[in-house]
Structure 1
Amino acid sequence: MAVEAVIWDFGGVFTTSPFEAFNRMEAERGLPKDLVRRVNSTNPDSNAWALFERNEIDAARFDTLFLEESTALGHPLRGADVLPLLNGQLRPRMVAALQACKQRFKVGCITNNVVSMHSPGQDTTQRSAGAMAQVMPLFDAIIESSKAGVRKPDPKIYLMMCDLLAVKPEACVYLDDLGINCKPAAGLGMTAIKVVDVDQTLAELSAATGLAFGAEQPA
């Protein structure tokens, strides 16, 4: 089936991955590498991160629950110390690719986020809010987990986007930096691209869509 829509994750796709910031913080504090990832992958449907991304708890409760969960793994870490690390630097080539796709296809965004991430008045989210302000108006449809009450990798959120765009899953390309989120998209019939780096992503996106994307400009 011909491609009709390209659906994108936001963080780690249009911005640098927060996992890079998590690892830097872990190294600075003498914590085990990927501790934050371990906390987030333990009881992934009901842990603090999942509840917060579905907007079922507020930031204060997230702070408390995340501390309890990290303590249970032997390394106490407050949730309030993790949230500022979600901000990443914008990737201009990915934004340009979105603009090119928009000329031919429908484009949508499915993002797991928390309410504080789209509150531009908060100092810890200024960079994220600025990046979102540049990119979000380009999409034909947006689903935010904190507003929809459902989050990836629940297949329902992908089908919700297909309904919004009026396309079948088989006619979609889906991009995400997490394999766990690509798997259900592929299971529904989408062409799933795991974002590892910009060059690899654009090469795979070009192969899937037939579009050509510009190379990185020399400094």
Structure 2
Amino acid sequence: MNLNPLSAVIFDYGGVMAKSPLGRVELLAELLNADPEVVISLILGTESTELNPWFEAEIGKQPLDEEFARKMRRVFSKRGVHFDLKIFRPWVTEAVNEPDEIMERLVRKLKSEGVSVALLTNAVPEFWPVIETTINVDLFDVVVDSSKVGLRKPDKRIYELTASLLNVDVNQCLMIDDLEHNVLGAKNAGMEGLLFVDSNLVESEVLNYFSFS
């Protein structure tokens, strides 16, 4: 940790506030009869926005419509996968996620101790009803949705924006994310970053830093 005391903690949604999305992506791969690693790289990877229409959707530039399907077919076909919007769209809009109760407990504890908390997630507009059904977004002082701000992790600007909305310096923030490239993005922006591996370990490390029991 740096010498500047932390005053805010920023939580990812999928894989932190809700249980890991990897199982959902693996399900999509099964539905598309595709190699799970290929689908994981296309949905959760780091390819540039220009090459990945899913990332365009996550910054609010591309609805999940027929144009999206055409673009996705082109991208997926290069990896030997047939993209089917009739499978993909319900996979997004009808998802059932499991909240992480330990992380919710941590958010509540931090707030009770005066620590600012934010939710920062890469998401498409069509997925927001799932998020709002799964967790209580009102717990957070700030909610940053990539599709509303036109930026997505790991772009350093979205971390800077989140810190600004929290009214703190970036080096006073801790970002918790389950994807290493998003943690590195936070660090590149000047934040502290914590890679989520286990709920109990994350809770313990964060509470120990703030000397909360």
TM-score, scaled relative to structure 2 = 0.86
What does 1:137-152 align with in structure 2 at a 5 Å threshold? 137-152=138-153
Q: Which residue of 2 aligns with 1:70?
A: 76
The C-alpha deviation readout for 1:164-188, integer Å capped at 9, x for no partner, is 1111122111111111111021123
Tell me what 1:200 maps to: 201
Moved more, 174-183 or 26-35: 26-35
Contact 1:64 1:79 in 2 (8 A): no
**Unaligned stretches of 5+ in structure 2?**
none
SS in 2 for 1:107: strand
Q: Structure 2 vs 1, CA of residues 28 and 90 (structure 1 numbering), >3 Å: closer, same or farther?
A: same
Would the alpha carbon gap of residues 130 and 42 (structure 1) be closer, same or farther in structure 2, given more than 3 Å must change?
Answer: closer
Identity fraction in percent: 25
Give the equivalent residue in structure 2 for 1:114.
124
Aligned AA (1:107): V
- Specify the code of the residue in structure 1 equivalent to 2:198: D
Matched, 1:38 2:33: no
Report the residue type matching 2:106 in the other structure: A
Alignment: residue pair count: 203
Offset at residue 31 of structure 1 (A): 2.2
Q: Is the 1:63–1:80 contact (alpha carbons within 8 Å) kept by the matching residues of 2?
A: no
Q: Secondary structure at the match of 1:16?
A: coil
Contact 1:140 1:165 in 2 (8 A): yes
Mapped to 2, the partners of 1:175 and 1:152 lie a distance apart of 12
Deviations 1:73-120 (A, max 9, x none): 0121335534544532111111111100111201111111111112x4
Structure 1 pair 42/193, CA: closer, same or farther in 2 (3 Å)?
closer
Aligned counterpart, 1:190: 191
Shift of 1:200: 2.6
Over aligned residues, Cα RMSD in angstroms? 2.0
Q: 1:85 to 1:210 in 2, by over 3 A?
A: farther
Deviations 1:124-176 (A, max 9, x none): x4xx33114x2x10111111111111111111111111111111122111111
TM-score, scaled relative to structure 1: 0.84
Q: Does 1:52 align with 2:57?
A: yes
